[in-house]
């Protein structure tokens, strides 16, 4: 079986292309915390997918869950052991073509599962400015962090996931520790699938300043807090699904920030 690269690319949309996808994965796995916490085995990734997609109370992802789990099961049968093993078998056009020939898998299925990993599982790199909705103090803090070489969410999580690292950033920048901590937690929220600066700002604004606090929230109080915050900014947050999804996913994603 050969790779039809036009069909492969169609499955990757809206990702720019195959090389862009591979570059994103290499960048993410260049961070120690990603390598440590996201290189799951295939059985672990199948279980995670069940919880992530199958746990939706409205069943919106049931069909997608079945598709992804089917492909992951085929990959396991083809002796793919871990996420990094899959990446190594698909990290170049030659490697992908060889794997398709050897395994007999449909290249489009491989594209579908790689796309799932990018959008739903592996933390993607984002500039810190993309985590903040209009807040002069936090924007000024971002510039201070840029001066010491920290420009992205993954860099900030890597250096600030532990108290010792946050204190080192306080000393290097002169910023208050609570500001550094807020930015680290915003970066942590950016690991959730489809999180935007608006979603992150709404979570923080509703009073849930960390992933741990969100994960341990009382569901009834959570909804009240979100609605109250939405009213304060002139938005009806009842109309979106970010409350339910954010709370559910915060309880699933690997814990990184301590």
Q: Is residue 255 part of a domain?
A: no
Amino acid 241: pLDDT:
66
Last residue of a domain, one of 70, 93, 121: 121
Amino acid 238: pLDDT:
67
SS3 of 95, please? helix
225 and 133 fall within a common domain: yes
10-residue block means of pLDDT along the chain (258 residues)? 92 94 96 98 98 90 97 98 97 95 97 97 94 84 95 97 97 96 96 90 93 93 90 79 85 96
Tokens of 96: 């992908």
CA distance 6 to 4: 6
208 and 172 fall within a common domain: yes
Amino acid 132: pLDDT:
82
Last residue of a domain, one of 99, 121, 143: 121
238 and 199 fall within a common domain: yes
Amino acid 240: pLDDT:
61
Q: Is residue 256 part of a domain?
A: no
15 and 112 fall within a common domain: yes
Q: How many domains does the chain have?
A: 2
Amino acid 100: pLDDT:
97
Q: Is residue 257 part of a domain?
A: no
Question: What burial class does residue 168 get, using C-beta atoms within 10 Å of its C-beta: 0-12 exposed, 13-18 middle, 19+ buried?
Answer: middle
71 and 171 fall within a common domain: no
- CA torsion angle for 108, 193, 215, 51 (degrees, to 10)? -10
DSSP characters over 180-204 = HHHHHHHHHHTTSTT--HHHHHHHH
114 and 163 fall within a common domain: no
Phi then psi dihedrals of residue 103, to 5 deg: -90, -25
Amino acid 54: pLDDT:
93
List the domain range (segments joined by +) for residue 98: 5-121
56 and 38 fall within a common domain: yes
71 and 184 fall within a common domain: no
**Radius of gyration of the chain from its Cα atoms, rounded to whole angstroms:** 20
Q: Is residue 258 part of a domain?
A: no
CA distance 9 to 127: 26
Amino acid 189: pLDDT:
96
Amino acid 57: pLDDT:
83
């Amino acid at each position: 079986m050969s790779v039809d690269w036009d069909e492969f690319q169609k499955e990757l949309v809206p990702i720019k292309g195959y090389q862009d996808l591979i570059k994103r994965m290499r960048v993410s796995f260049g961070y120690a915390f990603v390598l440590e916490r996201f290189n799951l085995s295939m059985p672990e990734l199948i279980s995670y997918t069940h919880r992530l997609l199958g746990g939706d109370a409205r069943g919106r992802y049931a069909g997608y869950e079945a598709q992804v789990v089917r492909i992951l099961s085929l990959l396991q049968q083809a002796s793919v052991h871990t996420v990094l093993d899959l990446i190594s078998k698909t990290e170049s056009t030659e490697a992908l073509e060889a794997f398709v020939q050897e395994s007999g898998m449909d290249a489009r299925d491989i594209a579908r599962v790689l796309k799932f990993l990018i959008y739903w599982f592996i933390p993607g790199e984002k500039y810190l400015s993309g985590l903040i909705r209009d807040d002069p103090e936090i924007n000024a803090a971002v510039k201070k962090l840029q001066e010491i070489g920290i420009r992205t969410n993954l860099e900030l999580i890597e250096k600030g996931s532990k108290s010792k690292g946050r204190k080192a950033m306080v000393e290097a920048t002169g910023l208050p520790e609570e500001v550094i901590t807020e930015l680290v937690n915003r970066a942590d929220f950016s690991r959730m699938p489809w999180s935007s600066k608006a979603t992150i700002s709404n979570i923080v604004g509703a009073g849930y300043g960390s992933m741990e606090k969100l994960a341990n929230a009382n569901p009834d109080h959570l909804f009240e807090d979100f609605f109250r915050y939405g009213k304060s900014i002139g938005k009806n947050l009842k109309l979106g699904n970010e409350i339910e999804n954010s709370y559910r996913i915060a309880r699933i994603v690997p814990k990184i920030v301590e």
